[in-house]
Structure 1
Amino acid sequence: MFLNDQETATDLLYYEAIAKTVVRLIGNTGEAPVTIGVHGDWGAGKSSVLKMTEAAVAKEPKTVCIWFNGWAFEGFEDAKTVVMETIVDELRRARPTSTKVADAAKKLLKRIDWLKIARKAGGLVFTAATGIPTLDQIRHVVDLASSVISSPQDHISMEKLRSAAKEAKDYLKEGKEEAERLPDHIHEFRKEFVQLLDAAEITKLVVIVDDLDRCLPKTAVATLEAIRLFLLVDRTAFVIGADELMIEYAVREHFPDLPPASGPIGYARNYLEKLIQVPFRVPALGPAETRVYITLLLAEAALGSVDGRFLALIEAAREDMRLPWKSRGFDHATVQQACDGAIPQPVGQAQMLAAQVTGILTEGTGGNPRQIKRFLNTLLLREAIAEERGLSSEIATPVLAKIMLAERFYPAFYEQVSKAAAADPRGIVEALGHLEDDVRGVASGGPVPAALEGDWAKNEWARRWAGIDPKLKGVDLRPYVFVTRDKRGVLGGLVAASHLEAIVERLMGPTLTAKGAADDVGRLPAPEAEEILEVICRRIVETDAFLKKPKGVDGIDVIVKKHPGLQRRVIDFLKGLPTEKLGAWAPTSWANTFTDQTVAAEFEALREGWAQSGNAALKTAAELTSKRRGR
C-alpha cells in the first residue's frame, strides 16, 4: 500500500470550507482586484486547498483560472517576465479562435520583450529615473566586448561581430528611448492588459500561484513583483499559496539593506501584508482530525477514491469534523453506521492503525498532513518487510511508530537508543524505563542509569517523547531497531566489505593477532571503524559469557587507541553488560584506553559502581584496580 504525496482535490481534511470561502470572496469583490494568501507550513495542505479552489472557480461562467507554479520556473533568468508571459499565453490559449485576443496578446508580449531587453541591459528599468548607468549595465557592455576580444583572432567571425554590434546598438537605442518613459510604459501595459481581458470576454481572471515558498529569494520576490504589476488591474484575483515566514525571509534576503523597522512590524512583513490583502491560515490537525485523516488515507488507498463505501466515509468524516471539538475521533460506531453496519476489512484495519498511532503522530508531527502521510508510508513499508521476514509476531505497531518518531525527529537520540538495545542481551534499554517513570512521576527501583542522569533527563524533546504511550519499559527493542535501521550495523549482520570482515576476524582473535591489525585499523575512515566496533560489541554480547575475558576485548582496545573519538561508545557498551555476570577482566582490561578526561572519569565512576556490586570477583578486581591507581 502506498499513499500518494501529491496535492489532491479529494478533501480528506474538510478544507473545502477554506476553498469555498476563497471563491466566495473572489466573487464578492466584483471588478476590484484582490490578492489572497493561503498560508501554512510546508505540507500543511496549501496545495490541496488551491486545487479545490481551482476546481470551484472553473465552474464560474466567463472566468478563467490560471495555475502558476513558481518552483517549476526556478532557475529562469527573469522570473518576473516569465510570470507575465505565462499569464498572457494562458489567456491566449483560453480563447484560441479569437483574433482579437491574439492581437491584444501580441501587443502585450512585445512589451514583455522590451522588459527582457531592459533586464539584459542591467536593470535599466529600475534606474531610469536617474539616467545614470548602473555597475551592472557597464559590466554588461564590458562583458560583451570582452567576449569578442578574448577570442583567438582566427575564431572571430563576421557573424559574431555583427551580433555584438547589433546587441550594443539595441541596448543604446531601445534602452535609452524606453527608459525615458518607463511610467508610461507600465501604464500602457496595464491598459493593454485590460484590453486583452475585454477581447477575451472575461469577467474575472483568477491566477493561482503555488509553491512560492520553495523558491530561492530572488525568484520568490521577482514573482511577487510581477503580481504587483497587476494589482491595479480590475477583474484580476491572485491566490498565493506560501508559508509567510519563508516569504518574509526571501524579502529580507533580497533586500538586505532594509532599515530597522520603527514599529512592531518589520519591513518584510509590511511588504507581504501590503501585497496580500486577505490572508487565510491552514490550521494544524488536532488529535481527532489526525485520527480521521489517517483512517481516510488508508481507506482510500485500499478501496479507491470512487468506491461508494469510501464516499460514505468521506461524508461521515465531514460531519464528524464539522465541530472538531465535539468529535469522537471517527469511532467504531460512526464508521459502522457509515458502512451500513458492515465495516470492510481494510477499513477496520485502517481504524485499528489510526487508533494505535494517532496520539504519537499528533504529538510528533505537530499535526502536519504531509509528515503524517510520509510517516505512514514508511511505517507500512517496514511492517511489510517485517512480515516478509517472518517477524510480524515480534513487531507491535504502536511500539514501532514510537521508535520511528525518534528516528525521524531526533536521529541522535534514536542512535543512542538503538545502540543501547543492541548492547543489552535482552534488548531492553533500562534508561528508557527510568525516563518514562520520571516523566510520569513514578518512582523507579534500582540505580538510575547514567544516560538518565545526563542528556536524556534534561532534553525536552526526549522527555515529551518518553511521555507518549506506549511505554517501552521492559520491551525488547531489538526487532524494532533491526526494522528501522536503514544502514547495515550492529543488528544487520557482518559488515558488507570483505576487507572489513577480514579486519573484524583479526580483531576477534588472540591478543597478538588483534594488535597486529592496528595499522590497518588506523587507516580506516571513522565511519568504518565505528561499524567494526559495533560488530565486535554485538558478537561479545551474543556470547552471553562474560566471566572470562571475551574474544574481541583486545580488538576493542586497538580500535579505540587508533580512533579515540569512539571511547564513549565503549563506555556505553560496558554499561550495558550485566554486572552480575562480569568477571575480573572488566575493570582491569582498559589501563591506557580512555585518554579523554571526561570519558576516563565516567569509567572510574563505573568501576566504583562495580566495586559496590554483589559480584564478588568483579568487586575485588575493581577495588584492587582503584587502589593501584590511588598509589
Structure 2
Amino acid sequence: MWADNETSEDLLGFKVHADLLINVIKDESVLPITIGVFGDWGSGKSSILQIVKEEFDKNEDKDSLCIYFNGWTFEGYDDAKAALLNSILKELENNKKISEEVKDTIKEKSKKLWKSIDWMRGAGMVMKNVALPAVTAYFTGGLSLVPLAIQKLTEWGDNPEKIIEKLQSEEGKKIYKAFIKEGKEEDKNAINAVAEFRKDFSELLETTNFKRLVVIIDDLDRCSPERIIENLEAIKLFLNVPKTAFIIGADPRIVKYAIEHKYKNNKEIEEDNNRIVIDYLEKLIQLPYSLPRLSESEVETYISMLICKKEIGDAKFKNVLDEFKRYRLTNKYSAFGLSNFEKILEAEEFGKVKDNVITIPSLVPLITNSLYGNPRQIKRFLNTYTIRKRLAEVASLQNFNDAVLAKMMILEYSEPKLFKKLFEWQIIQDGVPKEITDIEALCKEKGIEDILSEIKDTDFKEWSKPKIIKWFQIEPLLSGVDLRDYYWIARDKLENSITATSMIPPVVRALFNELLPDNMTATVTKSLLSTKFQPFSDIEKDAFFNLLSSNLKRNPQQKRLYDIFNTMTEEKIENTVYHYMETLKIISVSDIEPAVATRLADFKSEPEIGTFLNDYFKDGKSRASKAFNLKK
C-alpha cells in the first residue's frame, strides 16, 4: 500500500520543476515575487514544494531562509492575515540557520511587529463580535469603523438590532458624526500602519543577513474562500518587501472561486466578473507556473518505481532512486522501468518486482488516459488494485488473472455506467457475456474511426468512445473469460464505483456548494454548469455526480438537489440520466415531495428516463405518485 502524503522523494522526475523555481528565486533582480504553483488536485504540487524546501534548507545554502506553511492550518484562526504574520515572525525567531546573537536582535525588532499583529487580531475579533454585516449596512457610506467605534459598539453588546437602535438615538447620532470625522483621519492612519509594518518587516529581514526569505504556502485551495483571500492579501499588503519570495501551491480554479466569492454581491463587478477575477489574480500572483499532466512514459515510470520501492524496501531502493536521477539528466522522455531495474537489482529482488510490474505496462496508455496523468489518482488506483489482488489470494480464487483485474478496474474507474452494464450482462450468463465477444469482434484489426462508425449502428452504441475501443483492443482480451470472480471482489463498489469513495477534489466541492442555494435561478444554474462543470475532467465529473447523488440519498426531501439534477437532465449533460435514475432507485417514492414529482413529470416523454419515471411512480397511492400522474 502507498500513503497519500506529500514527499520530497522524487519518483516523478519533478525535480526539474523545483530547480526552475529555485533558479528564478535566486535571481535577486526579480525579488520580491509571488509564484503560484498551479495544478489539479493530486497533481504533485505539494511534492514539488517539499523538494524546493529541502534544497533551500541545505546547510551549504547560507544565503536563503525557507519557511513552509500549510495554508489549511490557519483555517480556524479568527484572522488569517494575523496568523500568517505571527507564524513567520516565530519562524524567524527560532530558525536553526540563524545565530543566537542575530536571534536576540530579531526578537528585539519584532516587538513592534508583534503589537501590530495583536492589534489586527483584536480588531478582527471585535468586528465579528458586533455582527459586522448588520452594522456596515447601517453605515451606508461604507466607512471603516475606527477604534472609538469599535470600543463603543462593544459596550453596546453583540445584538445587531440593539446596536442599530442605539445608533438611531440622540446619543447615537452624535457618536455617528464622531465616527465620520475620525474615520477620515483613521483611514490615513490605517494606510500609514501598513506602510510602517512593511518598513519594520524589511528592516527585520536585513538583520538576518540572508539574501532571500522564501515562504512556501501549501494547500491554500483547501481553505474557505475568505481564508484564501486573507492569506493572499496579507502577502501583498504586508510582506511583499525586498528579498522575499512567496510560493503558493493551489488549484487555480479554487482561487478563482474565492475571488468570485469576494465580489459576489457587487453587481457592477459581477457584470464583468471574468475580467475582474483575472486582473485580481494577476495582481496577487506575478508568476503562475502550471504543472503538466504526466505523459505515458512518466506514468509507467511512476508505477514501476512505486512497486519497486514496495517490494525491495527503502534501504535498497535508494540505489534505484539514485540511478533514476542520473538517468533523467540525459533522458527526459523514455520510461525508467524493468529493463533498468534488472541492471541494478539482484536476481531475487528483480524477480519480486517483475512479478508485480509485468501486468501493468501494457495498460499504461489506458491508465494515463483514464486517470489524466494524476499521481494521486494513480496511487489510489494501485492501492485498490493491491487490496483486490490480496483478497483474491486470501479467497483462493482459481485461475485469477491480475491483468484482467487491472483491465476491469480501468473500466470501473473511467466508465462506471458501462462497468455496471457489463456486470448485468455477465450475471445472467454465468460470468461469460457474449456481448463482449461481439464487441471485440467489431474491434478486431480496424482503425478507431472505422470501428466508431460501425458500432454506432449496433446495440452497443453507448460503448462508442475512442478510449473504450482501445480498452477492448488491449490485451488481455475478455472473450470467454469468466468475470464472476472479478465482480465478486469488486462487489462493495458496484453501487458507486471506486471514485465514489475517493476524496472529493476541492474544485468539485466548491461548485457543489455554489449550486446549493435554494433561491438560485435556473438561468444561473445553467450558466454555472456550462462554465464550471463542463470543463471538468471525467474523473471530476464522476466525483460531482457521486457527491450530488450521495447527498440526495441522505436528504431525499431537499428540493434543491433535484433541481440540480433536473437542470442537468434538461441540458442533456452526459451521464446525468444514468446517475439520476440510480439515485432515485434508492429513494422511496413516499420520501419525495409532490412538487418534486410534478417537476419530474416534465420528463415523461424523454427517452430512457421517461420509461423509468412512469414505472417508478406507477403505484398511484403516494402523494408524489398522484402528483406525477396528475400532470399530463
> Aligning the two structures, in what range does the TM-score lie when normalised by the shorter sequence?
0.5 to 0.7
* Aligned residue type for 2:211: T
> What are the residue-to-residue correspondences of 1:252-291 with 2, within 5 Å?
252-256=260-264, 257=266, 258-261=269-272, 266-291=275-300
Q: Which moved more, 1:279-288 or 1:463-472?
A: 463-472
Counterpart of 1:481? 487
Counterpart of 1:384? 390
Distance 1:131 1:37, change over 3 A: closer
Give the counterpart of 1:399 among 399, 404, 411.
404
Q: Determine the C-alpha separation between the residues in 2 that align with 1:207 and 1:453.
A: 58
Q: Determine the C-alpha separation between the residues in 2 that align with 1:20 and 1:333.
A: 28
> What are the residue-to-residue correspondences of 1:415-454 with 2, within 5 Å?
415-425=420-430, 427-439=431-443, 453=459
Distance 1:129 1:146, change over 3 A: closer
Counterpart of 2:603? none
Distance 1:356 1:398, change over 3 A: farther
Q: Determine the C-alpha separation between the residues in 1 that align with 2:210 and 2:391.
A: 55
Q: Determine the C-alpha separation between the residues in 2 that align with 1:172 and 1:601.
A: 65
- Deviation of 1:56 after TM superposition, in Å, equals 0.4
Q: Determine the C-alpha separation between the residues in 1 that align with 2:160 and 2:15.
A: 62
Counterpart of 1:101? 106
What secondary structure, in the 3-state scheme, does the structure 1 residue paired with 2:360 have? helix
* Aligned residue type for 1:414: F
Counterpart of 1:208? 216
What secondary structure, in the 3-state scheme, does the structure 2 residue paired with 1:67 have? strand
Give the counterpart of 1:236 among 236, 244, 249.
244
Q: Determine the C-alpha separation between the residues in 1 that align with 2:36 and 2:610.
A: 56
Q: Determine the C-alpha separation between the residues in 2 that align with 1:82 and 1:437.
A: 64
Q: Determine the C-alpha separation between the residues in 1 that align with 2:483 and 2:40.
A: 33
Q: Determine the C-alpha separation between the residues in 1 that align with 2:492 and 2:209.
A: 58
Is the 8 Å Cα contact of residues 34 and 286 (structure 2) preserved in structure 1? yes
What secondary structure, in the 3-state scheme, does the structure 2 residue paired with 1:279 have? strand
Counterpart of 1:10? 9
Q: Determine the C-alpha separation between the residues in 1 that align with 2:363 and 2:72.
A: 33
Counterpart of 2:353? 347
Give the counterpart of 1:250 among 232, 254, 258.
258
Tell me the C-alpha RMSD between the 2 structures: 4.4
Q: Determine the C-alpha separation between the residues in 1 that align with 2:263 and 2:195.
A: 25
* Aligned residue type for 1:317: F
* Aligned residue type for 1:486: D
What secondary structure, in the 3-state scheme, does the structure 2 residue paired with 1:266 have? helix
Counterpart of 1:48? 47
Counterpart of 1:314? 321
Q: Determine the C-alpha separation between the residues in 1 that align with 2:308 and 2:462.
A: 38
Q: Determine the C-alpha separation between the residues in 2 that align with 1:313 and 1:99.
A: 45
What secondary structure, in the 3-state scheme, does the structure 1 residue paired with 2:247 have? strand
Is the 8 Å Cα contact of residues 370 and 413 (structure 2) preserved in structure 1? no
Counterpart of 1:82? 83
Counterpart of 1:616? none
Is the 8 Å Cα contact of residues 6 and 50 (structure 2) preserved in structure 1? yes
- Deviation of 1:104 after TM superposition, in Å, equals 1.9
Q: Deviations over 1:412-443 (max 9, x none)?
A: 33222223222222x12333343444455769
* Aligned residue type for 2:302: Y
Q: Which moved more, 1:39-48 or 1:415-424?
A: 415-424
Counterpart of 1:363? 369
Q: Determine the C-alpha separation between the residues in 1 that align with 2:238 and 2:360.
A: 46
Distance 1:91 1:371, change over 3 A: same
Is the 8 Å Cα contact of residues 31 and 234 (structure 1) preserved in structure 2? no
Counterpart of 2:581? none
Is the 8 Å Cα contact of residues 260 and 266 (structure 1) preserved in structure 2? no
Q: Determine the C-alpha separation between the residues in 2 that align with 1:563 and 1:430.
A: 35
Q: Determine the C-alpha separation between the residues in 1 that align with 2:190 and 2:328.
A: 53
Q: Determine the C-alpha separation between the residues in 1 that align with 2:82 and 2:457.
A: 58
* Aligned residue type for 1:199: T
What secondary structure, in the 3-state scheme, does the structure 2 residue paired with 1:221 have? helix
Counterpart of 1:132? 143
Q: Determine the C-alpha separation between the residues in 2 that align with 1:193 and 1:129.
A: 36
Q: Deviations over 1:481-527 (max 9, x none)?
A: 001121699xxxxxxxxxxxxxxxxxxxxxxxxxxxxxxxxxxxx99
Is the 8 Å Cα contact of residues 430 and 449 (structure 1) preserved in structure 2? no
Q: Deviations over 1:297-349 (max 9, x none)?
A: 11112222332xx233224434554566752x335433222337775332223
> What are the residue-to-residue correspondences of 1:296-315 with 2, within 5 Å?
296-307=305-316, 310-315=317-322
Counterpart of 1:629? none
- Deviation of 1:479 after TM superposition, in Å, equals 0.5
Q: Determine the C-alpha separation between the residues in 2 that align with 1:465 and 1:192.
A: 62
Distance 1:103 1:371, change over 3 A: same
Normalising to structure 1: TM-score of the pair? 0.65
- Deviation of 1:30 after TM superposition, in Å, equals 5.0
Q: Deviations over 1:568-611 (max 9, x none)?
A: xxxxxxxxxxxxxxxxxxxxxxxxxxxx9847999xxxxxxxxx
- Deviation of 1:191 after TM superposition, in Å, equals 0.6
Counterpart of 2:234? 226
Q: Determine the C-alpha separation between the residues in 2 that align with 1:149 and 1:187.
A: 33
Is the 8 Å Cα contact of residues 45 and 249 (structure 2) preserved in structure 1? yes
Give the counterpart of 1:217 among 221, 225, 228.
225
Q: Determine the C-alpha separation between the residues in 1 that align with 2:426 and 2:614.
A: 24
- Deviation of 1:133 after TM superposition, in Å, equals 5.2
Counterpart of 1:542? none
Q: Aligned residues: percent identity?
A: 31
Distance 1:144 1:376, change over 3 A: farther
Distance 1:293 1:143, change over 3 A: same
Q: Determine the C-alpha separation between the residues in 2 that align with 1:317 and 1:110.
A: 51
Q: Determine the C-alpha separation between the residues in 2 that align with 1:180 and 1:4.
A: 52
What secondary structure, in the 3-state scheme, does the structure 2 residue paired with 1:394 have? coil
* Aligned residue type for 1:402: K
* Aligned residue type for 2:382: L
- Deviation of 1:185 after TM superposition, in Å, equals 0.6
Q: Determine the C-alpha separation between the residues in 2 that align with 1:600 and 1:41.
A: 37
Counterpart of 2:543? none
* Aligned residue type for 2:253: L
Structure 1: gaps of 5 or more residues? 152-167, 490-525, 528-559, 566-595, 603-631
Q: Determine the C-alpha separation between the residues in 1 that align with 2:234 and 2:144.
A: 23
Counterpart of 1:25? 24
Q: Determine the C-alpha separation between the residues in 2 that align with 1:172 and 1:111.
A: 24
Is the 8 Å Cα contact of residues 455 and 461 (structure 2) preserved in structure 1? no
Is the 8 Å Cα contact of residues 204 and 236 (structure 1) preserved in structure 2? yes
Distance 1:195 1:399, change over 3 A: same
Give the counterpart of 1:194 among 202, 205, 208.
202
Q: Determine the C-alpha separation between the residues in 1 that align with 2:476 and 2:210.
A: 58
Q: Determine the C-alpha separation between the residues in 2 that align with 1:83 and 1:149.
A: 30
Q: Count residues with an aligned counterpart.
A: 473
* Aligned residue type for 2:70: N
Counterpart of 1:586? none
- Deviation of 1:143 after TM superposition, in Å, equals 8.4
Q: Deviations over 1:419-472 (max 9, x none)?
A: 3222222x123333434444557699xxx9999626623567655644554332
Q: Determine the C-alpha separation between the residues in 1 that align with 2:306 and 2:9.
A: 11
Is the 8 Å Cα contact of residues 42 and 243 (structure 1) preserved in structure 2? yes
Counterpart of 1:534? none
Q: Determine the C-alpha separation between the residues in 2 that align with 1:599 and 1:268.
A: 43
Q: Deviations over 1:231-277 (max 9, x none)?
A: 64001110111122221222112222334449xx7322232223222
